[in-house]
Amino acid sequence: MSSQAPQRVHDITLQRLTTAGFALLGTGLVSMVVLHATSGLNPVDVVISLHLYTPLGWLLPVSLALFGGGACAFAFAARRAGAPRWLSRMLLVWAGFLALVALFPTDPPGLDEVSVVSAIHRYSAFCAFATMALMGLAFSRWAKSADGGERCPAPVRRAVAVFSWIGLLALVSCSTPYVMEWFGVPREPGAYAAGLLQRTTVGSELVALAVLGGWLRERRAGSGREFAAAAPAAPVAADQQQQAEPRYGYDDEGRPAYLGREFGGVDDVLEVRAGEAARFHAGLAGAEPELVLQRR
């Protein structure tokens, strides 16, 4: 009973965090869809930032704030679930860059020079998209390793990797004309399907984030193992200790070995301290070893 209470609290907290994360992401997605549906702009050519200057432009910073809030909820869930620390940190960094994108709007269309505010908006957006894509690739690599392989199913790892690669490639394609502009190559507004590439980046990274959130939500079912080590071992009754019979035999290499005690109807693990175990391996001589009893 002592090990069940912490696990139950742990599961409820993870459930609430992941539920809040999905609720925020879903509300942000609905806000973004309504913004696009009422803007009258061409989603293939016009980038998302220019939707700020449409009748419902205020939905843009609102949706970005909701996306960031969902990422923060998943970040706390990742820390709670025992995921790598860098995962929660990168989620918080992504949310921070989204906050900058929302606070510093882009310039209205038609201006020749890029203002400082618009530059902060542009580079914060690039850093946000790059952070999410790199986080997804790092997560898939961790999930493939020996440490993460037992915790993360292969379909989750592959899905996060695929959508992260799609987001990264779309980001590079969308950003290339802006980089070429630094070298004197003119960038025509609406060229290169910038709006479509940007939406591909955002959409694929949101899918990767949702898959990650789903994995965190499932982690609550197996997260009790972190508390099992800290839970106190159940005591063994005194009459069971007196009735326990020591067992001796041979190990896999044919050497004499102490095999522990056998309790009637009780499944216990008995560990022999290293020093005493060596004496028994030498010939089963000397005093009976000191036992460490722990209920499995």
The last residue of a domain, from among 201, 228, 255: 228
Predicted confidence (pLDDT) at residue 226 exceeds the cutoff of 60 = no
pLDDT-above-70 percentage for the chain: 67
154 plus 277 within the same structural domain: no
DSSP 293: E
* Contact by Cβ (8 Å): 39, 98: no
Predicted confidence (pLDDT) at residue 45 exceeds the cutoff of 70 = yes
d(CA 220, CA 278) in angstroms, rounded, equals 41
11 plus 95 within the same structural domain: yes
Predicted confidence (pLDDT) at residue 240 exceeds the cutoff of 60 = no
Largest CA distance in the chain: 93
209 plus 135 within the same structural domain: yes
What residue has token string 């921070």?
96
Q: Which is more confident, 9 or 249?
A: 249
Q: Is residue 233 part of a domain?
A: no
At residue 261, the 3 state secondary structure works out as strand
* Contact by Cβ (8 Å): 167, 132: yes
167 plus 284 within the same structural domain: no
* Total structural domains within the chain: 2
The 10s digit of each residue's pLDDT in 252-287 is 555 555 555 544 433 333 444 444 444 444 444 444
CA end-to-end span of the chain, whole Å? 13
Confidence of residue 212 (pLDDT cuts 50, 70, 90): very high
263 plus 150 within the same structural domain: no
285 plus 158 within the same structural domain: no
Query: CA nearest 217: which of 62, 70, 32?
Result: 70
HSE, side-chain direction, 13 A CA sphere, residue 175: 15
68 plus 194 within the same structural domain: yes
Q: In this structure, what token pair is assigned to residue 215?
A: 């994995």
Sign of CA dihedral 85, 93, 172, 49: positive
Query: How confident is the prediction for the chain on average, in pLDDT?
Result: 78
268 plus 250 within the same structural domain: yes
DSSP 268: E
d(CA 269, CA 285) in angstroms, rounded, equals 22
245 plus 291 within the same structural domain: yes
123 plus 265 within the same structural domain: no
pTM: 0.69
Predicted confidence (pLDDT) at residue 249 exceeds the cutoff of 80 = no
Predicted confidence (pLDDT) at residue 39 exceeds the cutoff of 80 = yes
The 10s digit of each residue's pLDDT in 148-201 is 666 788 999 999 999 999 999 999 998 888 778 777 777 766 567 888 999 999
Q: Which phi and psi (to 5°) does residue 31 adopt?
A: -60, -40
73 plus 186 within the same structural domain: yes
Predicted confidence (pLDDT) at residue 10 exceeds the cutoff of 70 = no
Q: Which is more confident, 129 or 283?
A: 129
The last residue of a domain, from among 197, 228, 259: 228
The 10s digit of each residue's pLDDT in 96-127 is 999 999 999 999 988 878 899 999 999 999 99
d(CA 216, CA 75) in angstroms, rounded, equals 10
Q: What does the pLDDT average to over 238-252?
A: 52
144 plus 254 within the same structural domain: no
DSSP 286: S
Q: Is residue 114 part of a domain?
A: yes
Q: In this structure, what token pair is assigned to residue 242?
A: 């007196």
The last residue of a domain, from among 188, 208, 228: 228
Domain with 57, as residue range(s), is: 4-228
Q: What pLDDT sits at residue 89?
A: 96
